[in-house]
Amino acid sequence: MTAKLDVQQGTLALMILRTLDVLGPLHGYGVARRIEETSKNRLTLNYGTLYPALVKLEQEGVVTAEWRQSENNRRAKYYALTGAGRKQLARETRDWQRTAELIAAFLAPRRGEEAP
């Protein structure tokens, strides 16, 4: 079994934004499921991590929340990206990719060294 990882605050926000971008308006449970599935269950999100992050994004004005009927007729709070959210997502995605490339290049195995 793969070890479970803790999510870093900044990365969680990015994951939430990306999820909402791909799937459209979604409730907290949906966001959590999607992130866990995408991570192949290497990440688990407890409520105390997820919901404060959602509140923070709402305070920043990058997501909005509204109460709606869910697919199985239950009232749930749906989060949706705002225009500012989309911009932030694009910017952060670009930043992350650059950082990832940089780190990857940095940590590339030296010649003659075994890949880890």
Partner 1 sequence: MRPLRVALRRLAGVFTKHRADPDLTEELQAHLEMETAEHVRRGLAPDEARRQALLASGGLTQAAEAVRDQRGLPWIESAVADMRYAIRALRRSPAFTTVVVLTLALGIGANTAIFSVVHGVLLKPLPHEGGDRLVYLRHSMDGPGGASLAFSVPEVRDFRTGAPALAGIAEYSSWTVTLQRDQGAERVPVGLVTGNYFDVMGLSPVRGRLTRPSDDGAGVPPVMVLTYGGWLKRFGGDAAIVGKQLRVDGQSVTVIGVLQPAPFFPDRPEALLNMVISEHHTSSYMVEGRTHRMTEVVARLAPAATLALARAEVAAVATRIQAEFKDAYDPGSHHRIAVIPFREVLGERARLTVWLLMGAAAFVLIIAAANVANLTLMRGVRREQELAVRAALGAGVARLRRLLLVENLALAFLGALLGVVLAVFGVQLLTSLVERYSPRANEIRLDAVVLTFTVVLATTVALLLSFLASLPREGGLAPWILAGAHRLTGGWSKQRLQRGLVVVQIAVSVVLLAGAGLLTRTMIRLSEVRTGLRTEEVLAIDVPLLTPQEILFNPGADASAKERYDRMRDEIRALPGVVDVGIGYPIPLRSSEVRFDVKVDGKPLGVGEAMPRAEFRLANPEYFHAAGMTLVSGRPFATTDRRGGGRVVIINQTLADRLFPDQDPLGNRIAWTGDVLRFTPISPEWRTIVGVVANTQDGGLDAKPTAVVFHPYAQELALSGTLVIRADSGVAHLTAAATRVVRRIAPTAPIDEILTIAQIKDQSVSPRRLNAALIASFGMLAVLIAAVGIAGVLGFAVSARTPEIGIRMSLGADRGRVQRMVLAEGGLLLGIGLAVGVAGAFFAARVIRGLLFGVEPHDPTTFVGVGVLMAVIGIVACWIPALRASRIDPAITMRSL
Which residues face 80 on adjacent strands? 64
Least separation in angstroms between residue 99's CB and partner 1 is: 21
Nearer to partner 1, 73 or 113 (CB): 73
Secondary structure of residue 79 in the 3-state scheme: strand
Nearer to partner 1, 55 or 102 (CB): 55
Amino acid at 54: L
Nearer to partner 1, 33 or 96 (CB): 33
Distance CA 106, CA 104 (A): 5
Secondary structure of residue 47 in the 3-state scheme: helix
Least separation in angstroms between residue 55's CB and partner 1 is: 5
Least separation in angstroms between residue 111's CB and partner 1 is: 45
Distance CA 25, CA 54 (A): 13
Footprint of partner 1 on this chain (CB under 8 A)?
A: 27-29, 32-33, 44, 46-49, 51-52, 55-56, 59-61, 70, 72, 74-77
